[in-house]
A and B are shown apart, each in its own frame.
Chain A
Amino acid sequence: NAGVTQTPKFRILKIGQSMTLQCTQDMNHNYMYWYRQDPGMGLKLIYYSVGAGITDKGEVPNGYNVSRSTTEDFPLRLELAAPSQTSVYFCASSRDRDTEAFFGQGTRLTVV
C-alpha cells in the first residue's frame, strides 16, 4: 500500500531557484492538501484541491503554485525560493471532505 508518496525527501535550494515538490496518491481520493511545518509550529495549509482541475488557496499560499491535472498527482511549485520557505512540507489526501486525511512522509526543504 503506497498511500501518499512525496518526493524528494530532502532538498537544499539556493535563493531564487525554483523546484517542484511531487505528491501522488493511489487511493483515488478527491481531496488533496499541501501543508508546511515550521520549527516548533503546527502545520499550516498552503493549497488544497477538491478534485482534478480544481485548486484553491489555503492560509499561506504566497510564493507557491499548484496544479491538479489528474486525481493522483498534486505537485507544489516554488518559483523563486526564499529563506522564509525553509520548512517541512506535507502532502495529504482524503476521500471526501469529512473523512480521514492520509499524509505523506514529508519533504524537508532548506533555502540558503
Chain B
Amino acid sequence: GNSVTQMEGPVTLSEEAFLTINCTYTATGYPSLFWYVQYPGEGLQLLLKATKADDKGSNKGFEATYRKETTSFHLEKGSVQVSDSAVYFCALSEPEGGAQKLVFGQGTRLTINP
C-alpha cells in the first residue's frame, strides 16, 4: 500500500535558521500531498498542500514542491521563528471506499530556540 516516510526527529534549530524536513512517499498513481502541523495542545491543522506534480504549496513562509521524479515533498522555510515549534506531519491522500483517507508519516517534532 501507499506509505509516507519523514525524517526522524526531534529537530532543534536556532531562530532564523533555515529549515528542511524531508518527506518521501510510495504510491500508486498521483495522490495529493499535504503537510499538517500540530501546535502544543492543539489538533492537526493543514499547513499546505499540492495536488499534482511540480505544484508548490506555500503558507506562513513554508513551502513544499511535489516532485514526482524523486517521490518527495520536502518542507522548507527560510527563517524559522520560536512560534514554529510544533510537530509536522507529511501525508498523502488515497481512496478508501467512498472517502479519501490520509496516510501519514510518523511526524517530526521541531523545536526552535531563541
Chain A positions near chain B (C-beta within 8 angstroms): 3-4, 6, 31, 33, 35, 37, 40-45, 48, 50, 56, 58-59, 90, 92, 97-98, 100-106
Q: Which residue of the partner chain, among B41, B89, B96, B98, contacts A45 with CB atoms under 8 Å?
A: B96
The answer to whether the Cβ of B103 comes within 8 Å of any Cβ in the partner chain is yes
CB 8 Å contact bits of B14-46 with A (1 = contact, 0 = none):
000000000000000000100010000111111
A36 to B36, CA, bound (A): 16
Interface size on B, residues (CB 8 A): 25
A92 to B91, CA, bound (A): 14
Task: Add 9 more A-B contacts to A45-B96, A105-B43 (CB < 8 A).
Answer: A37-B107, A42-B104, A43-B104, A97-B99, A100-B49, A101-B102, A102-B43, A103-B45, A106-B43
Grouping DSSP codes into helix (H, G, I), strand (E, B) and loop, the A interface class, with mixed when no group exceeds half, is strand
The answer to whether the Cβ of B106 comes within 8 Å of any Cβ in the partner chain is yes
A103 to B41, CA, bound (A): 12
A41-B106, A42-B4 known; A105 and B97 CB under 8 Å? no
Closest A-B pairs by Cβ, 7 of them: A42-B104, A103-B43, A103-B44, A43-B104, A105-B43, A45-B101, A50-B98
Residue in chain B with minimal CB distance to A98: B100
The answer to whether the Cβ of B105 comes within 8 Å of any Cβ in the partner chain is yes
Q: Given the complex, which residues of A lie within 8 Å of B45, measured CB to CB?
A: 103
A97 to B93, CA, bound (A): 10
A48 to B36, CA, bound (A): 19
Q: Given the complex, which residues of B lie within 8 Å of A58, measured CB to CB?
A: 96, 101
Q: Given the complex, which residues of A lie within 8 Å of B91, measured CB to CB?
A: 42
Q: Given the complex, which residues of B lie within 8 Å of A92, measured CB to CB?
A: 44
Q: Chain A's nearest CB lies how many Å from the CB of B7?
A: 13
A-B contact pairs, 5 of them (CB 8 A): A42-B4, A43-B104, A58-B96, A59-B101, A98-B100
Q: Chain A's nearest CB lies how many Å from the CB of B108?
A: 11
Residue in chain B with minimal CB distance to A4: B43
